[in-house]
Structures are given as structure tokens and as C-alpha cells.
Amino acid sequence: MIVVAGSVSVPAENSEAFMAAAADISAASRTLEGNIDYCISIQAPGEFRFLEIWETEEAMMAQFAAPHFGAFQAAVGELGMAGMDGKKYEISSVSPLFG
């Protein structure tokens, strides 16, 4: 299992447009084979967190060739992405939080 987590920032005045693009990529990515979850949330104006969960590395990499991924990159480029920090985690086991 692969978990991708991180943050993205854009100028605060572009927060609404960023969230519209984030909703599009999240919905489209959730339909991809091997995707377990994909979400982007706002932390403060212009500051966002993202979390992706994939069954395999191959599934994660396949999203980069999907049309919606290119559209998201173009939209974010137009919005003036000020920064991005992302990490990929390879998870070897999963268990319930309690129990």
C-alpha cells in the first residue's frame, strides 16, 4: 500500500478556484483502479493538505497519465502555486486503530 501525504499552497485569493480543481481531481482519481482514497482539504486560506491511498505503486503512477491529472496541474499552475511538500509512504501492514 502506498500513502501520499503533503501540503500545497496558493495565493489566498485563489483558494476557491483551487478547491474547485481539487474536487475535480479527487473525484476522478477515486474512480481509478487501485485507488483506496484521495482527498484534499483546506487548512487556511491558500493552504491545503492532501492524502492519497493506493493499493500499489503502479496504481499511483498510473494516475499521472490520466487526463484529469494534467488538467489539475494546468489549473494549479494558473493559480500560482506558491509551494508544495509531499511524501510517499510504503505501508507494509494495516490494522484497526482500536482493537
Task: Dump pLDDT digits (tens) for 24-49.
Answer: 999 999 999 999 999 999 999 999 99
Element at 92 (helix H, strand E): none
What is the model's pLDDT at position 16? Answer: 96
pTM (predicted TM-score): 0.89
Is the confidence at residue 99, as pLDDT, over 90? Answer: no
Task: Dump pLDDT digits (tens) for 56-67.
Answer: 999 999 999 999
Taking domain 2-90, whether its CATH number is 3.30.70.100 is answered by yes
